[in-house]
Amino acid sequence: MDLSDWDRFAAGGLDEKMGLELFELTPERARGRMPVQGNTQPFGLWHGGASCVLAESLASLAAVAAAGEGGTAYGVDINATHHAPARSGWVNGEATAIRIGGSLGTWEVILTDDHGQRLCTARVTCALRRPRRSA
């Protein structure tokens, strides 16, 4: 999967509902953003759960790219530390591979606001299911 494949996977899913815009997609790195508006908790701040959705979405998409054509991937672990709030604008995310192995991959995801202030640091591990090769 690459960036050109994104539209056929996004239709109707949580990423679409939350307004994910995807800018870059490779096994080693995925970049995207979500709007703060519509993704807040009752007090008007960016929701911590939205941080987890953005982090897991970016890492999982990179994981699918790492699994290769015909492969699949799914998240098995996420850890997120919230550093600062956001009240408006966009939350930008970048997932960078820490290690991509045969059956697991781990990505560090940094989320920032429009001014570059770090809002969240996450680590996401995904199971990779690569297609079986015929002999």
Domains of the chain: 3-129 (3.10.129.10)
**Measured between alpha carbons, how far is 129 from 70 in angstroms, rounded to an integer?**
9
Q: Are 58 and 21 in contact (CB under 8 A)?
A: no
pLDDT recorded at residue 93: 98
Q: DSSP assignment, residue 43?
A: T
Q: Active-site residues: which are they? A: 56
- Give the pLDDT band of residue 114 (cuts 50, 70, 90): very high
Confidence at residue 31, expressed as pLDDT on a 0 to 100 scale: 98
pLDDT, position 84: 97
Residues ≥6 apart with Cβ < 8 Å to 58: 30, 31, 32, 93, 94, 95, 107, 109
Q: Check: CB of residue 40 under 8 Å from CB of residue 47.
A: yes
Instruction: Read off the pLDDT band of 132 (50, 70, 90).
Output: confident
- Residue 85 in contact with residue 112, Cβ under 8 Å? no
At 131 the pLDDT is: 86
**Phi and psi at residue 87, to the nearest 5°:** -115, -15
Q: DSSP code of 130?
A: P
Q: Are 34 and 14 in contact (CB under 8 A)?
A: no
pLDDT, mean over the chain: 92
Asked whether the predicted pLDDT for residue 57 surpasses 60, the reply is yes
CA angle 55, 86, 113 (to 5 degrees): 60
Q: Which of 97, 35, 33 is nearest to 64 (CA)?
A: 97
pTM over 0.85: yes
Identify the pLDDT of residue 96: 98
- pLDDT for the residue numbered 9: 57
Q: What is the mean pLDDT of residues 56-76?
A: 95
Q: Kindly list the distances between the CA atom of residue 67 and the CA atoms of 2, 24, 77, 131, in Å, as whole numbers in the listed order.
A: 11, 17, 17, 8
For the cut 80, the answer to whether the pLDDT of residue 45 exceeds it is yes
